[in-house]
Amino acid sequence: MNSETIVDNEDQLIVEKRKYYNFSLDAVEDLFTYGGNIPETLLEGTTLDLTRLIDAYVLDKAAQEAKAGNWIGIDLVVAGSAGTHCSIVTSATGGTVTLQAYDGTYETSNIGAQENPRDGNVYFLGFQTADLYKGFRLRSTAAFVTPWYRISGITSSTVATVTEWDEAVAGSDFEEGLTLRGLFGGDGVNFTKYGTGDASFDKYDYCGWEFQAAIATSVTAATIYDQVTLLAEALDNNEVAPESRHLTVTPQLVTQLRQSSEMQPSGIAEIYSGTVINGRVMRVGAFDVHSAAGSRVSTRASHSPANATRIGADVAVTTATTGYQLLANHKGFMTYADKWSENRVVSAENQFAKKYQGLFLFGAKVPHYRRKAGAILFASF
């Protein structure tokens, strides 16, 4: 029997963030009666500020690390035609994608704009910062596509680097000599090791491309339950365990879930059962739902709309919609570490006052293979 080598990569969690507080209180203040428990109140405030900072850090990192292919939103599809050309050249770490559009000659600096068949609006067709870490794939006129690759870096509007979702570059499901799976394409679900005999997307004329969840999808009480089921489907497709799944959303979305017709009346028990623990406010679609308000939930801009439908011509982009990046995950998606480095009260020099000081260190890591246990709903309200 042939023996398959198991590659055991080691990930290192780096405690990379720090938060400190340092404030002083005049000792004379203790003589007045209008303010009670001033130090305790201020320390409680700094604790709340710290929890908000940690939540924002963790949820933003989650949005950068969720698996390409696990994003729910409005995809931007560029249909393959005689006016499009694209290629992927593999490298030691993945590949480099080059997009070109045809307008008499192949353009290398711009690719214009087109109507997106998914929503009927016109968008710029090239790479933007808003696309970083999301899924990207190439597709032919016959919907013959590659798997979703992770956009790892953007060089220009026409050039970007991509990697496998788990950043693997070798294994039994890689064709010899290639560092990306499925370069010979498939039907969108199945990608055999050697393809179907068609040429790979190494260099492909008349080929289009697709950005996953490029545009934030508008969520209402009438549609929110459907979006939750799509998040569950993404995790199911990756064979993520059905237990210990969590969904972190804004208070507005919690309200929409409660107003959703799918949750009335049969879902009332599911919505309100249990108590509010660690921000959990309800349970929907096999997810424990957690509410995260304010700046805790990360946001980013959508792919930019454009003012023209021209291939290979300069276009002016317009302001993009900002969407929330809402995380659905299994508890094994991310590992987190924190530590109080120092927490003290010291006497201030040359003052009748005390200084309250603290330093908090923390960090988080998503092991590459665990990216499949996280999915993102890119949504606007």
- Would the pLDDT of 206 be above 80? no
Residue 87 is which amino acid?
A: S
The alpha carbon of 242 is separated from its chain's Cα centroid by a whole number of angstroms, namely 21
- Average model confidence (pLDDT) across the chain: 82
Q: Which residue has the higher pLDDT, 281 or 36?
A: 281
Q: Which residue has the higher pLDDT, 210 or 110?
A: 210
- Would the pLDDT of 267 be above 80? no
What lies within 8 Å, CB to CB, of 244 at 6+ separation is: 330, 331, 332
- Would the pLDDT of 109 be above 60? no
Confidence of residue 196 (pLDDT cuts 50, 70, 90): low
- Give the max Cα distance, the chain: 86
Q: Cα-atom radius of gyration of the chain, to the nearest Å?
A: 25
pLDDT of residue 153: 97
The arithmetic mean of pLDDT across residues 68-83, rounded, is 89
- Would the pLDDT of 332 be above 70? yes
- Would the pLDDT of 278 be above 50? yes
What digits encode the pLDDT tens for the residues 122-166?
Answer: 999 899 999 999 999 998 866 678 999 999 999 998 899 999 999
- DSSP annotation of 264 reads S
In Å, what is the CA distance from 238 to each residue of 299, 300, 333, 375? 25, 25, 12, 10
pLDDT of residue 34: 47
For the ranges 43-52, 235-244, 271-280, the one whose mean pLDDT is highest: 235-244
Confidence of residue 16 (pLDDT cuts 50, 70, 90): confident
For the chain, first and last CA: distance in Å?
56
